[in-house]
Structure 1
Amino acid sequence: MAPAETATVYQRIVTAFNKHPRKVFRVRDLHEHLGLPTDEPSINVTRSRLGRLIRQGFLGQPGRGRCQKRT
C-alpha cells in the first residue's frame, strides 16, 4: 500500500472515532463501518494501526479487542 493510501486509511479510522467518540469498536465492526475488506490480512493491518493509535494516546482499550476514543 502506498504512503498516501495508508494516510487515507488512518484518516478514515480517526474520523470514525471522532464521529462516534463513545462507541466501542471491534476491528471487524470498524472495517464493516468503513467499508474496508474483512479478510484476515486486512484485519491484522488495522489491528496494528489501532495499536499505534492506542500507544499514541488517541484511543483507549476498554476491553480485549475493543477500542474507543479517549476523552
Structure 2
Amino acid sequence: MNAFNQHPDQAFRAHDLHELLEMPTDEASVNITRSRLGRLTRQGFLTQPGRGRYQKRT
C-alpha cells in the first residue's frame, strides 16, 4: 500500500510493483501479488482502471 500512497494517481501492474519495490519478478511471486491486489480491490482499497492495472481508490 505504501507504493499506492506515494503515487496515488498512478496505476500499477503487479510486475511494475515488484520492480519498484525491488521484489523478485518470477511468475509465482507476481501471481501472488496479483491475488493480493485483487483482494484489496474487492475490499474497496484499490480500483482497477484497466485490465491488470490497480490504483488507489480516491
Give the TM interval when normalised to the shorter protein.
over 0.9
Stretches of 4+ aligned residues off by more than 4 angstroms: none
* Distance across 2 between alignment mates of 1:39 and 1:30: 13
What is the match of residue 32 of structure 2?
45
Higher RCO (CA-CA < 8 Å; seq separation 6+): 2
Larger radius of gyration: 1
Q: Distance in 1 between matches of 2:52 and 2:25?
A: 15
Cα deviation for residue 52 of structure 1 reads 0.7
CA offset at residue 55 of structure 1? 0.5
Unaligned stretches of 5+ residues in structure 1: 1-13
In the other structure, the counterpart of 2:18 is: 31
Tell me which protein shows more helix as a share of its residues.
1
User: Using the alignment, how far apart are the partners of 2:2 and 2:16 within structure 1?
Assistant: 15
Structure 2: segments with no counterpart, 5+ residues: none
Which letter maps to 2:45? F
Question: When the two structures are superposed, what TM-score results if normalisation uses the length of structure 2?
Answer: 0.97
TM-score normalised according to structure 1 size: 0.80
Measure, in 1, the Cα distance between the counterparts of 2:52 and 2:36. 13
RMSD: 0.4
